[in-house]
Amino acid sequence: MSQMKQVSRVLQVGSRTMSLILLLCIILLRGFEVDALEYDYSASIECLTHPLKPQYNGGIIENPELNNGLEGWTSFGDAKIEHRESLGNKYVVAHSRNKANDSVSQKIHIEKDKHYTLSAWIQVSEGNVLVTAIVKTRTGLKFGGAIFAETNCWSMLKGGLTAEESGPAELYFEGNKTSVEIWIDNVSLQSFAEKEWSSHQDQSIEKIRKRKVLIQALNEEGKPLPNANISFALKKLGFPFGSSMNKYILNNTLYQNWFTSRFTVTTFENEMKWYSTEAVKGKEDYMIADAMLQFAKQHNIEVRGHNVFWDDPHYQPSWVPSLSPTQLSSAVEERVKSVVSKYKGNLIAWDVVNENLHFSFFESKLGQTFSSKIFNEVHNIDGQTTLFLNDYNTIEESSDGASSPARYIQKIKQIQSYAGNSGIPIGIGLESHFSGTINFPYMRASLDYLGASRFPIWITELDVAREPRQLQYFELALKEAHSHPMVRGIVMWTAWSPEGCYRICLVDNNFKNLPAGNVVDKFISQWKSNNLSGVTDKNGFLEVTLFHGDYEMEIVHPIQKNNTFTQFLKVTPSDKSNQTQPVVKLHIK
């Protein structure tokens, strides 16, 4: 503690006199031991001259670094394979390919219900080619992940799958451009049982969402004060968690009370979208959005701006599709100036061009640089707000190539390369509309890959489709997202409506919890402990581990049993494992 900076502050409590010094320091948690193989969250979005070593030493893959020739590897389909070496690196090449799946493979054995994390380093002989990893089982094909491979450098493919059966299987790689060679190196396939997978989540939450708080009580002579009782009440969670909301909240007290007692961040369901604010050309109406923003501010709830534009042609204002390119360009400029200027400085994010990876309404009419240009214009108006790409299926659906993690990173790089965009604050918005069975290894690996960009990741519209395991997957998806080191916030797409919810309802029309609401309350309960307190030891110390957030501390000492005082404490994350917050001295006289 001798190396820590000290900050002093004087507090006067009533007329009683009592000298008490509390020394508070925040210490990062140094580890959470679990009896499981540690998960490797690392990934690379860069194309490297030399591939990195295989994760988990290859896991169940035989000869993962190709140091033993072609041992363990065979040709798949009609491809020919050969062992090569370049710059001291050994790898396998599939050539003479006539079909997409003519490539290289390895026979493996999988176990039912185990999670498998997959990684490999890929290069192609020419161009920029999408290469996909496939696991062939006795009953079908399982998508493992994909990457846009390049020539003259190695790209990391990271993905995963959950085995639905036990038995023999085969891992192979395919690419639609049959004229190119596919080069493979440093492959890894590592299995994890469900308990191990869950332990990764617990370990990560302990490490990234909490910090240790060390408190020492001393008298004015600097002597320890043992047996001081200190309790902590969480007033605001540090991790942003919330739900979408809509206009119905404005005049419904039950809705308001239910919502504000739980959430710290929101997204307006439709009320800020272009078709809502300018249903008739030239007649803007922000009254409902303004009222919702005012309501959120009154209750200390942060708001994500959703959205400036939506690229889906089905969700344009009715008067927009018939505009000529010149007219559309003018309307677009007016929309940007209007909505961004109006809410400048009042939002924590802008979804700039929504679902731009799947749709191209504006690009088809105004050119392929439309999105990049709009990011630039929004930033020039509202320079302090993070600007998001926001799309679906990036972590939900492994077979949707339009918004795959690799495609997402390509789009970000395209936006950054536009003149004037290199330094703008960009965020990754993942809608997370899950359907059916969730591929959790793919979800985690995709977050790993996107996280390697170092851009903040938000889960922006999380829900799960109606199916027998909806509640189970809803709960597991929340935990998976919250436990990932690169996720900075979660917003669920669960706004209440008298006509019914989008896909998952949290409450009934009397705002009593439905089963999904109980899942949410259980999720929130991990942060709120009603009995979070302790007593200082003989040296005046008390150590507790707290989630990041704002706390009210109440301190009672037996010398003055009727004398209590409160003080606020902010527990913040740190990027440095050995960093502590400054010591705070509190004096009571």
Which residues are bridge partners to 312 per DSSP?
A: none
Beta strands 426-430 and 386-391 are parallel
How far apart, in whole angstroms, are the C-alpha atoms of residue 539 and residue 532? Answer: 20
Name the residue among 265, 269, 268, 209 with its Cα closest to residue 242: 265
Q: Which of 269, 271, 461, 480 is catalytic?
A: 461
Mark whether 552 is an active-site residue: no
In whole angstroms, what is the distance from residue 416 CA to residue 425 CA? Answer: 10
- Tabulate helix, strand, coil % of the chain (nearest 5): 25, 35, 40
Whole-angstrom Cα distance, residue 42 to residue 33?
19
Look-up: residue for tokens 């939900």?
Answer: 396
Residue 308 contacts by C-beta under 8 Å, 6 or more apart in sequence?
274, 335, 336, 339, 340, 350, 351, 352, 353, 374, 378
Q: Return the H-helix or E-strand segment holding 451.
A: helix 440-451
Confirm if 360 and 325 have CB atoms less than 8 A apart. no
First to last CA, the chain: 25
d(CA 261, CA 254): 11
Q: Which of 174, 355, 431, 480 is catalytic?
A: 355
Q: Are 439 and 468 in contact (CB under 8 A)?
A: no
Buried b (16+ CB within 10 A) or exposed e, 451-487: bbbebbbbbbbbbbeeeeebbebbbbbbbbbbbbebb
Sheet containing strand 182-192, edge to edge, reads 80-86, 89-95, 182-192, 115-124, 155-162
Asked if residue 195 lies in contact with residue 36, where contact means CB atoms within 8 angstroms, the answer is yes
Q: Which residue has the tokens 């493996």?
A: 108
Cβ atoms of 183 and 79 within 8 Å: the answer is no
Residue 461 is a catalytic residue: yes
Q: What CA–CA distance (Å, rounded) separates 144 from 161?
A: 6
Q: Are 309 and 332 in contact (CB under 8 A)?
A: yes
**Chain length of the chain:** 589
Instruction: Give the side-chain half-sphere CA count within 13 A for 563.
Output: 16
- Catalytically annotated residues: 355, 461
